[in-house]
A = this chain, B = another copy of it.
Amino acid sequence: MPASYKISFVGAGNVAWNLAPAFENAGIKVEEIYSRNKDHAQNLTHRLYDAIALDCPDFSSSKSDVIVIAVPDDYISEVVAQLQVPDHSIVVHTSGTAPLEVLDGIKQFGVMYPLQTFSKSKAVQLDNVPFFLEGSDEQVYELIEILVSAVSKHIYRASSADRLSLHVAAVFACNFTNHLYGISDNILKQANLPFDVLKPLIAETMEKAFLLSPAEAQTGPAVRKDVKTLEKHLSYLSGQPALKDLYKILTKRLLRKE
């Protein structure tokens, strides 16, 4: 890995917050950060060696090999319309759902989608994170691959269709799963019980699904057809009709399985 590669970011949210320092730790210098909110960009530059925060998305004098658009999907097109980049820079986005073509019109472009959940308040071990890459041509793909291989050992070539499948699956396995943890947390809070007592169960649920498969690992009153228990749980939730409905819907899905 020559130390001379350079990278820049549009966006200073959870993704850029985690990726930018990781690239810099791997020897890829971060040049510029642009965010609609300049304070956010400046906060991110404080985590970096000597990156600068731009006032507008004008990267025309940037030395970056790759400019990473890490903004919510809804804003990618808007960013692309305003973006000024030199021909030598490859522009990539990090979205699971936006197709490669959203960057059409730029000379060299691609995708680097990290299949992970990022927050500012918790650092992620990036080297285990799978990255799904796409490039507007083979040479572009290869340069993106060189850069990403500096931060992760798990690199896959994936079409925009594949990425969409991955992102939908990730929403169920991560965002919705975390929401279920939150529901459990609330139920225990209402009963003055600590969330901590659920941790061994949550960890075992994950480990068992990994070892067997989620289908083989399924347990609980619904798969046991334990009707009295299901009724008691529904009656327990009767004061929270939306939660009771969610319990019913998920239980119905499990009752249909054998």
Which residues of A are at the interface with B, using a C-beta cutoff of 8 A? 14, 72-74, 95, 97-98, 115-119, 121-122, 124, 128-130, 154, 156, 161-162, 164-185, 187-188, 190-191, 193, 195, 197-229, 232-233, 236-237, 242, 245-247, 249-250, 253-254
Contacts and interface: CB of A to CB of B under 8 A. Distances in A.
A159 to B, nearest CB: 10
Contact of A203 (B171, B191, B206, B225): B206
B200 A173 contact: no
A224 B203 CA distance: 27
Interface of A is mostly: helix
Nearest to A216: B121
Contacts of A164: 232-233, 236
B214 A181 contact: yes
A212 B173 contact: no
A179 B232 contact: no
A165 B243 CA distance: 14
A165 B191 contact: yes
A209 B119 CA distance: 11
Contacts of A130: 197, 200
Given A198-B173, A221-B73, A228-B74, A214 B250 contact: no
B117 A205 contact: yes
A208 B119 contact: yes
B204 A250 contact: no
Contacts of A119: 208, 212, 216-217, 219
A256 to B, nearest CB: 10
Contacts of A253: 179, 242, 246
A246 B118 CA distance: 24
Given A206-B202, A217-B119, A169 B188 contact: yes
B174 A193 contact: no
Nearest to A228: B74
Contact of A115 (B187, B197, B233): B197
A225 to B, nearest CB: 8
